[in-house]
Amino acid sequence: MLIGEIGGDAEERAAAYIAENITKPVVAYVAGFTAPEGRTMGHAGAIVSGSSGTAQAKKEALEAVGVTVGRTPSETAALMREILHG
């Protein structure tokens, strides 16, 4: 389980790490799909600038390496349950 947020590049770096080092399924939730561009959310690091740092960009980076990404906490829980229990 990976939980991320808008801003920065930690999730993109995590995607690269997962691609190289993790063989088990990973499910992720990235907070901030509804965050308006250019607005600071919560702390100075959580700002979206253009397409960089958006929840969608992070979702795409994670999905590109096989991570299943939920758009809401409840969807993410359902995805995790599905992966664990078939």
List the one residue out of 36, 65, 14, 75 whose CA is nearest residue 46: 36
**Partners of 76 in the beta sheet?**
none
Q: What are phi and psi of 47, to 5 degrees?
A: -125, 140
Catalytic residue among 43, 44, 50, 86: 43
* 43 part of the active site: yes
Largest CA distance in the chain: 40
Report the catalytic residues.
43
